[in-house]
Structure 1
Amino acid sequence: MKISHLFIILFLFVNHVSSYGYVGHEITASIAQRFLTPKTRENLRELLPKEANGNLVLFTSRMHYASSPHDNPPDHCFITYTPAKVDLLKAIHNYTNRLDPKNNLDFLFRAEALKFLVHFIGDLHQPLHVSRKLKGGNGARGIFEGHKTSLHYIWDSRLINKHIRELNEYNFTFSGEENLIKNNFYGEPFYEPYVKHILELMKTIWRQEIAEWPVCNEGVEYTFEKETQDILKSNSLLFGNKQTYFGLNSQQEKENYSLKKQPPSASCPEFWAIPINKLNCQVVWKDYKPDTELSEGIYYERIKRTRIVEKLLAIAGIRIAAVLNSLLG
């Protein structure tokens, strides 16, 4: 069996047993793919097997978590980066460095690093991966659309699948069976309309904040392909040097941000994890009741109204592209 065949079989197997549902990982990779520079795409082709044809979507791996003993949502959300600790944050730094051409690792190590890095950055943007309560929600009972499950699995897969299904049903109603058959004929994945919906949100309602998403600190600068730069341009009158939305808001947080020093890698997961961890208090565990249907009512309506699932997928995609462009572009 050729090495490339072995890689694709192994990666596809691991992909389907991963906990942050494989659809979520494929969506973040699909979004990231659209924001890669031509040079990054060219370099990726050398790392991916020929069968992948430069497609990031095929390559994800096992998840990891990051947590703090002081984290207890919804009352208190807290996460810190400990360089000596083996967790999701450290893993992202490690695999970023392994992928970096400057470190002169051989092909197999860098190909493996690409797989893990794309997956781990995706995991970082599922809030329960950065919360310790009840094992990241795996030990929290949940009911979703009549099925008994866990809070973790609801956020990994159930919410995404429900949103995809609802959007596809809407598109079917207004586009008709002919267009649906046409899309299937051209081989688009079933989640492609959802990806396009997220990209449209990025171009419209999130346009004014999107440039802040890949920000790390002054030591890291990310670039994107020229055609997509317009989407990422921030309005200096609105932003200036202030971190907004998914950045660090308070001066205290900025002072505590460890990457003011020389960054450990071209990624900055400890910076990105702080506001994502806070979502556990603001959304994920807020109004959670283990024996209540969570696919409707106040819990679900808040998630749907704020588009938080779509936004996290979009941010993950942008950050994956940013890191890959900085390393390979």
Structure 2
Amino acid sequence: MFPKITIIAVLAGCTARAIAWGAAGHEIVATIAQIHLHPSVFPTMCAILNFTSPNPSEPPCHLAPIAAWADTQRPKMPWSAQLHYIGAVDDYPSQTCAFPGPRGWEGAKGANVLGGVRNVTDILLDWVVANKAGTVSEYTAANEALKFLVHFLGDMHMPLHLTGRDRGGNSIPVLFSGRKTNLHSLWDGLLIAKALRSVPPQYSRPLPYPQIERSLRGAIYDSYVRMIMWEGVLGEWEQDIPDWLTCPAPASASSATDDALICPHHWATPIHALNCELVFPPALDQPPYNDTRPPPALEQFAQASFSVAADPFLELDTPEYSGVITEGWVIEKLLAQAGLRLAGVLNYLFAEFEDEEARRDLRVGF
């Protein structure tokens, strides 16, 4: 069996794109990761984040407050914009769905979200090695790398951040419950907002798992996290989670970003496929909806709302579209995969183990 990222669940003890998932989505990913962190991760992680908690009954620091930091820094760090997405250029028409195709990806090689995940992980790994050797004394580089890692893992699990088609859906106006928006913004936040309104009332009460409850912060999405954990991570997906964290052997790694422990391209490939299978409905390629995209010269000005009232827009809050996403728990699974993979990377980087075999072992349990 190939090595797998350690995710010991110690619950018993350069064109700017729309923000992936929105702040709530990124914080949900970070909270799911928080639940699965090894206790030995916290001293190092919290020192990097320069955070201490006055309440010993709570985790000493939390990932959620820094989950959207990378988006807030884009104006100050314009070079980072291209690291939030990857523009596949040969994945349309949907029958091809190449990732990448013959022309690869738009932009400079490695300057994308997959390269971003790889780069900041390597920065943190080098910092850990140097810190253990006593050769570093400052945390600035590690602090930024950790914040970027938390964010990029979330971005990578938003399907429209993996395609260059129609600017990742930004150029496709649609309706959702009669509200004019665009395809990217729909996946960015509106689908999560609808899911939050649909959580069964029993999840407003604490679960009988203190390990989960300690990671919740009284946020609007707490009940949603409880539902994902109870029905998904502890329920329907429990047997699938080892596969979520497995990477190919180095000889079969399909990208320079991947190795046997951390493999963003391998993880992203089935997420990208959702663009061809589900995210872009076939009706968008047929009249009259294929005529609603702004002219190429105006794409840079495309916003979430489009002002030409006479143009028809496809309604996507329907049983055939949003209903399939809801029934299939598509959004919830993507958020859970992002959170568990983030926890796996952080545990690999920061957890203390007696030997390398234990470090590479995969144990998910309560």
Q: TM-score, normalised by structure 1?
A: 0.74
Structure 2 counterparts to residues 155-234 of structure 1, below 5 A: 155-167=187-199, 170-171=200-201, 188-200=218-230, 201-218=232-249
Structure 1 SS opposite 2:315: coil
1:33-63 Cα offsets, whole Å, 9 max, x none, are 0111011122111111326741000113136
From 129, 138, 145, the equivalent of 1:113 is 145
* Whole-angstrom CA distance in 1 between matches of 2:283 and 2:185: 14
* Alignment pair present for 1:270 and 2:271: no
From 314, 320, 338, the equivalent of 1:292 is 314
From 47, 56, 66, the equivalent of 2:63 is 56
* Whole-angstrom CA distance in 2 between matches of 1:162 and 1:215: 32
* Bigger CA radius of gyration: 2
Give the partner amino acid of 2:115.
K
* Whole-angstrom CA distance in 2 between matches of 1:97 and 1:175: 39
Gapped runs of 5+ residues in structure 1?
1-16, 177-182, 220-253
Query: By percentage of residues, which structure has more helix?
Result: 1
Aligned 8 A contact 2:204 2:222 in 1:
no
- Percent identical among aligned pairs is 34
Aligned 8 A contact 1:266 1:327 in 2:
no
* Alignment pair present for 1:258 and 2:255: yes
Structure 1 SS opposite 2:174: strand
Cα distance change on mapping 1:92 and 1:103 into 2, 3 Å: farther
Cα distance change on mapping 1:79 and 1:50 into 2, 3 Å: same
Aligned 8 A contact 1:71 1:79 in 2:
yes
* Whole-angstrom CA distance in 2 between matches of 1:288 and 1:47: 48
Shift of 1:78: 1.8
* Whole-angstrom CA distance in 2 between matches of 1:130 and 1:285: 13
* Whole-angstrom CA distance in 2 between matches of 1:31 and 1:57: 9
Shift of 1:103: 5.4
* Whole-angstrom CA distance in 2 between matches of 1:47 and 1:117: 13
Cα distance change on mapping 1:255 and 1:96 into 2, 3 Å: closer
* Whole-angstrom CA distance in 2 between matches of 1:327 and 1:266: 11
Shift of 1:73: 4.9
* Alignment pair present for 1:136 and 2:161: no
Q: TM-score, normalised by structure 2?
A: 0.66
* Alignment pair present for 1:68 and 2:88: yes
Cα distance change on mapping 1:297 and 1:30 into 2, 3 Å: same
Q: Which moved more, 1:94-103 or 1:304-313?
A: 94-103
* Whole-angstrom CA distance in 2 between matches of 1:32 and 1:307: 19
1:165-213 Cα offsets, whole Å, 9 max, x none, are 111xx418x979xxxxxx9xx9611100100111111111111111111
Gapped runs of 5+ residues in structure 2?
1-17, 54-59, 72-80, 206-212, 290-312, 352-366
